Amino acid sequence: METLTLGTGNSQELRVAIDKAVDHLEEGSIVALPTETVYGLAANALNAEACASIFEAKQRPNFDPLIVHVSGQEMLDSVAEIPDNIADVTYTLIKEFWPGALTFILPKKEIVPDIVTSGLQTVAVRRSKNKIFAEIINSLESPIAAPSANRFGSISPTSAAAVNIELSGVIPLIIDGGACSEGVESTIIKVEPSEKKKPIIKILRPGPVTPEMLKKFGKIEKNQSHLDETSSLTSPGQLDSHYAPKTPLRVLASPDEFKLDCSKSYALLSYRGQRKDGYLELCEWSHIETLSPGSGKLPEAAVRFFYSLRKLDELGVDEIISEPIPERGIGLAIMDRLKRASHQFN
């Protein structure tokens, strides 16, 4: 299959790209679309066959459910139930963070095909703030199922070029909306009622909406699902090994942990590229990628993270070594992805 990539650089291109994407989705085809977090591989969420093509293209196991994107309250109500006992906090969170990188796990409505939720009685829902995505979903007037547009387990794409590397020849259309502004996938939460004053907000996947941002709305619980495979029923996609480059990756908690094997070539993923952190001079690096040069700004590191990982993976070195990222704010999400990316080799 030939993969067409359509640009959105001027208003005419943008119009053509949006119309083409909507046509494809209406016909039950799949399309890669930009969102503010990562590129998504989209299908009409109410078309089970189209959603099956997502699993096929990504080679994703069917026990890993998809996120359903909505355009607003009405569409949300069509796919999910908001239970009374969590309604107040859920609506408050929606008002505060939508459109944006926050995904809710809610009881699903009948209309959502089982393939989308992998047979679960819950559905993951979010509203993207990407303008191109928003225009497409508004024209389609149907919810859009879209996991990240990479092959299963691989590095998430934050540009159309990265989608091309992942899925060229497998999908018909990519809409190029430029680089993603957040750079890591949405925060996934499950809100639960509590006897106490504050409801519980369980973070199933850390992301751009951080615990610090959520804590005034409820008691934060961090889900340890990736450490406990038996919890797979509540969050089946939180697999240990994910976001994995082909090159072995090791996160070094401290520079002293590194024992140089002179027969190997190494590349470094540095947080802020500062000598005083102790990593730059550990060895003769084949290449150094710095996430946020100088002062180490976490949002900048997030935006550059998947891009940098992909770049290092393409060098053909024996091993990628990563500095740890401070686990605060969006740094928590970056470290979560780094740990999963390195899991299979450690």
Using CB under 6 A as the criterion, which residues of the chain lie in contact with ligand TXA when the complex forms?
A: 35, 37-38, 40, 64-67, 101, 103, 105, 117, 120, 122-124, 146-148, 185-186, 188, 204, 234-238
**Choice between 62 and 85, CB closer to ligand TXA:** 62
Give least dist CB 16 to ligand TXA, A: 22
Strand order across the 144-145 sheet: 4-6, 173-175, 31-33, 40-44, 144-145, 67-69, 122-126, 102-107, 187-192, 200-205, 219-222
Residue 186 near Mg ion by CB under 5 A: no
Radius of gyration (C-alpha) of the chain in whole angstroms = 20
Q: Which of 35, 47, 148, 186 binds Mg ion (CB under 5 A)?
A: 148
Minimum CB–partner distance for residue 318 and ligand TXA (Å) = 29
Q: Among residues 148 and 235, whose Cβ is nearest to Mg ion?
A: 148
Which residues neighbour 335 within 8 Å (Cβ) at sequence distance 6 or greater? 251, 324, 325, 327
Nearer to ligand TXA, 185 or 313 (CB): 185
Instruction: Give the nearer residue to ligand TXA in terms of CB position, either 193 or 255.
Output: 193
Which does residue 35 touch among ligand TXA, Mg ion, none (CB within 5 to 8 A, set by kind)? ligand TXA
Contact 281/275 with Cβ under 8 angstroms?
yes
Shortest Å distance, C-beta 49 to ligand TXA = 18
Contact (CB, 8 A) for 245 and 313: yes
Alpha-carbon gap, residue 257 to 254, rounded angstroms: 6
Encoded one letter per residue, x for contact with Mg ion by CB under 5 A and - for no contact, window 30-59 reads ------------------------------
* Nearest distance in Å: CB 209, ligand TXA: 10
Cβ atoms of 31 and 24 within 8 Å: the answer is: yes
Binding partner at 46 among ligand TXA, Mg ion, none, C-beta below 5 to 8 Å by kind? none
Contacts of 179 (CB under 8 A, 6+ apart): 158, 159, 303, 307
Residue 124 or 214: which CB sits closer to Mg ion?
124
- Residue with the two structure tokens 């992998």: 118
The binding site for Mg ion (CB under 5 A) comprises 148
